[in-house]
Amino acid sequence: MKFGVVVFPGSNCDYDAYLAIRDHLNEPVEYLWHDRSDLQGCDAIILPGGFSYGDYLRVGAIASHAPIMDAVKEHVAVGGLVVGICNGFQVLCEARLLPGALIRNQSLRFSCRDVYLRVETAATAFSSACQPGEVLKIPINHGEGNFTAAPEVLDELESTGRVVFRYCDRNGAVSEVTNPNGSRRSIAGIVNERGNVLGMMPHPERAVDPLLGGTDGMKLFESMRQAMNAVQGMAVS
């Protein structure tokens, strides 16, 4: 299996994602430039954080029309895994691969700190290495991480088990106080209907080394590896 990390002009977490896969997950990984038209045989794609194209127009808006995104959409259509982290989540929403939008933090301030996430479901390719209700400590680093969507969309996400992560305290309790950006229903990460696209604002690639404060982020990448191994095992059999 091979991971690909998309690099847009303005990406600044691409190297962190690359190292998380290469040095901690110990799997092959390569960079995929925004102007490419193919994914170079990568099995899972990471859209990293940063400020793609300077976040002009709207966050993620220009990046959603980059040539590489046509290949990403084709990858999604055939069941390939894609995770968008922070700015990558914004890109996925702009590309209509995920519903909703990310708007200014409710505080109107940039936020950079550790937060706690409650795993709402382990029945996804991105959370299978977790337990439902488990609390992860993952850092955030954003000014426009306030997830919003129409009430009926939020209801559908909840009823179909597509809310994967929710902001909480260290004990798993959810409240306005534990919500760092004002996201509706404290949502921190969601998947698409098929379950092969995840968008999340917190940065798991920054929580892969004890020296950086913890390794909870590895559970997301390990889940992806397990999902891909399962698919490859079925193909072989």
Q: What is the DSSP letter of 31?
A: E
pLDDT of residue 235: 59
pLDDT of residue 232: 73
CA angle (43, 45, 51) in 5-degree steps: 165
CA distance linking residue 164 with residue 28, whole number of Å: 26
The pair of three-digit structure tokens given for residue 77, joined into one six-digit string: 């259509």
Q: What would you report as the CA-atom Rg of the chain, rounded to the nearest whole angstrom?
A: 16
Of 86, 93, 130, 168, which one is the catalytic site residue?
86
Percent of the chain as helix, strand, coil, to the nearest 5: 35, 25, 40
pLDDT of residue 230: 87
pLDDT of residue 181: 98
CA distance linking residue 28 with residue 105, whole number of Å: 35
Domains of the chain, CATH where assigned? 3-236 (3.40.50.880)
**229 pLDDT above the threshold of 60:** yes
The pLDDT-based confidence of 233 (bands split at 50, 70, 90) is low
CA distance linking residue 47 with residue 82, whole number of Å: 8
pLDDT of residue 172: 98
Judge if pTM exceeds 0.85: yes
Query: Can you give the three-state secondary structure of 131-188, one letter per residue?
Result: CCCCEEEEEEEECCCEEECCHHHHHHHHHCCCEEEEEECCCCCCCHHHCCCCCHHHEE
User: pLDDT tens digits, residue range 151-186?
Assistant: 999 999 999 999 999 999 999 999 999 999 999 999
Percent of the chain at pLDDT > 90 equals 95
Q: Is 96 helix (H, G, I), strand (E, B) or coil?
A: coil
Question: Known catalytic residue: 34?
Answer: no
Q: What's the mean pLDDT in 52-71? A: 96
CA distance linking residue 216 with residue 61, whole number of Å: 30
Of 94, 120, 144, 205, which one is the catalytic site residue?
205
pLDDT of residue 231: 78
**98 pLDDT above the threshold of 80:** yes
- Phi-psi group of 228: left, alpha or beta (phi > 0 → left; psi -120 to 50 → alpha; rest → beta): alpha
Q: What is the DSSP letter of 71?
A: H
Question: Known catalytic residue: 86?
Answer: yes
Question: Known catalytic residue: 130?
Answer: no
Q: How far is CA 110 from CA 9, 59, 79, 141, 180, in A?
A: 21, 14, 35, 7, 10
Q: What is the DSSP letter of 95?
A: T
User: pLDDT tens digits, residue range 105-155?
Assistant: 999 999 999 999 999 999 999 999 999 999 999 999 999 999 999 999 999
Is residue 109 exposed (0-12), middle (13-18) or buried (19+ Cβ within 10 Å)?
A: exposed
The pair of three-digit structure tokens given for residue 64, joined into one six-digit string: 């959603």
Q: Which helix (H) or strand (E) holds 233?
A: helix 218-236
